[in-house]
Amino acid sequence: MAENGDMLKLLRERGYEARSMSVSHLDEVREDVEGLYKKGLLAEDLYKEYLFRFKYIVPVSFPEAKSIIVVSVPQPTCEISFNVKGRKVRTIVPPTYARAVDVDMEIVDLLEKGDGNGVHLMRAILPHKTLAARTGLVEYGRNNVTYVPRYGSFHRLTSFFTNRDLPDDWQERKVMDRCAECGACVRACPTKAIDEDRFLLHAEKCLTFHNEMPNDKAFPDYVLEGVHNAVVGCMICQKVCPENAKVRNWMVHCTEFDEDDTSFLLKGDFSGPRAKKLTERLEPLGLELQLFPRNLLALLNNGR
Ligand code: B12
Ligand code: SF4
Ligand code: SF4
């Protein structure tokens, strides 16, 4: 029979870092995010698209939940290629998009089976960065991305409710000391989403906010041609960060789309069996058909 602390040890043995907190802090987590919204600091579009979904309560279907486990899973950049008129176009999917579902299932499996003492987990629909910073698992960078000691910002975050009474690591959120003297990300951000005068990102200006939108949404004028650097998301503020010196070139080749698949994606008419096949290929990468053709055209226009 495993002790409570051993649950997190199982994750560490797998190479994942984890911390925990009591569910009694859920109201404070709500205040961390909703407090900013009430003060008018979070754009309405951002809130409606992403943040209103968070549920700062113990799930009705899991009333025995006592703690929340927050997990950091190291992830490389994923290289993918497209083939257009005899030209191979290499691009990337940034860390954290790929394997989202797999990672969650792997953690549930590992902990529920590995413990053997009636432990249950349920995925938490909560702001993972806030939970991770509030448990001391991560520190914030000035770019509003979070960092862990060995892998910098190249890690995916995920959180789960559990029926176990785990240690309560609740604490103040911290910014990395290094940021005070640096500011490289502030200078490099192509859309000025990172503000000199406030810590909180202007997320509604971030390139990622725009290229994660469905294809029928055009990029605003301040997203200049030439700034696109990934098929979705943006790596500029993480690439320039000295804290990522050891991981910034950590990349695995994920997949290649041949001429036929690439031209299908560029046409943007997603009907028929090929659409289904491509959806199945895109899904493990964290990509969707609705990102095409806009994001791929933007990269091609970049001259990449
Ligand atoms: C909404 C969202 C977005 C939005 C908004 C981003 C944002 N910064 O909020 C958009 C689409 C723009 C986006 C972009 C990206 N995202 Co995103 N996104 C999310 C999502 C769904 C929620 C984030 C959230 O809670 N935002 C609300 C804001 C208010 O919270 P916050 O950013 O943590 O802000 C806190 C601090 O600012 C703090 N604060 C305010 N003032 C001060 C002052 C001090 C001194 C301190 C210490 C703190 C502090 O208060 C806030 C609340 O705690 C999460 C998934 C999830 N379920 O959590 C992924 C998530 C945060 N995204 C992630 C990633 C990787 C990205 C991108 C890097 C992707 C990419 N390569 O393009 C970019 C990075 C953009 C950036 N510079 O932040 C990862 C982060 C992993 C990591 N290593 O930190 C997450 C956790 C997904 C995952 N499962 O791993 N994302
Ligand atoms: S680039 Fe500099 S200021 Fe920005 S997060 Fe990294 S260390 Fe902090
Ligand atoms: S992800 Fe790109 S656009 Fe967004 S804050 Fe970082 S550098 Fe700026």
Nearest ligand, CA 136: 1
Question: Is the per-residue pLDDT at 235 higher than 60?
Answer: yes
Q: For the packed helices 100-115 and 4-13, what is the interaxial angle rounded to 10 degrees?
A: 130
More confident residue, 201 or 1: 201
Give a three-class secondary structure readout of the chain: CCCHHHHHHHHHHCCCEEEEEEHHHHHHHHHHHHHHHHCCCCCHHHHHHCHHHCCCCCCCCCCCCCEEEEEEEECCEEEEEEEECCEEEEEEECCCCCCHHHHHHHHHHHHHHHHCCCCCEEECCCCHHHHHHHCCCCEECCCCCEEECCCECCEEEEEEEECCCCCCCCCCCCECHHHHHCCHHHHHCCCCCCCCCCCCCCHHHCHHHHHCCCCCCCCCCCCCCCCCCCCCCCCHHHHCCHHHCCCCCCEEEEEEECHHHHHHHHHCCCCCHHHHHHHHHHHHHCCCHHHCCHHHHHHHHCCC
Between the CA of 236 and the centroid of ligand 3 the distance, in Å, is 6
Of the chain, the end-to-end C-alpha distance in Å amounts to 55
pLDDT tens-digit series, residues 193-230: 999 999 999 999 999 999 999 999 999 999 998 999 99
Q: What is the pLDDT of residue 304?
A: 45
User: Is the C-beta atom of 142 inside 6 A of ligand 2?
Assistant: yes
What is the pLDDT averaged over residues 50-73? 98
Mean pLDDT of 218-246: 97
pLDDT at 2 over 90: no
pLDDT at res. 1: 40
Nearest CA to ligand 1 atom 36: 200
Ligand 3 pocket test: which of 93, 145, 146, 191 has the largest number of ligand atoms within 8 Å of its C-beta? Answer: 191
Query: Mean per-residue pLDDT for 236-243?
Result: 98
Residue to substitute in 208, 222, 248 for testing ligand 3 pocket (most ligand atoms within 8 angstroms of CB): 208
Where residue 303 falls among pLDDT bands split at 50, 70, 90? low
What local confidence, expressed as pLDDT, does residue 109 receive? Answer: 94
* Alpha-carbon gap, residue 244 to 147, rounded angstroms: 9
For 97-122, the pLDDT digits (tens) are 999 999 999 999 999 988 767 899 99
Q: How far is the CA of 275 from the centre of ligand 1 (A)?
A: 31
- pLDDT value at position 87? 93
Q: Is the CB of 143 under 6 A from ligand 1?
A: yes
| Atom from ligand 2 closest to the CA of residue 194 | 4
pLDDT at position 302 is 83
Q: Is 127 in the pocket of ligand 1 (CB under 6 A)?
A: yes
Give the pLDDT confidence score for residue 211 in this predicted structure: 98
**Which ligand has the nearest atom to the CA of 188?**
3
Report whether residue 134 contacts ligand 1, using a CB cutoff of 6 Å.
no
CA of 85 to the centre of ligand 1 (A): 38
Indicate whether 34 pLDDT > 50.
Answer: yes
Q: Please return the burial class of 180, using the count of CB atoms within 10 Å of its CB with bins 0-12, 13-18 and 19+.
A: exposed
Mean pLDDT of 296-302: 93
Report the chain's mean pLDDT, rounded to a whole number.
Answer: 95
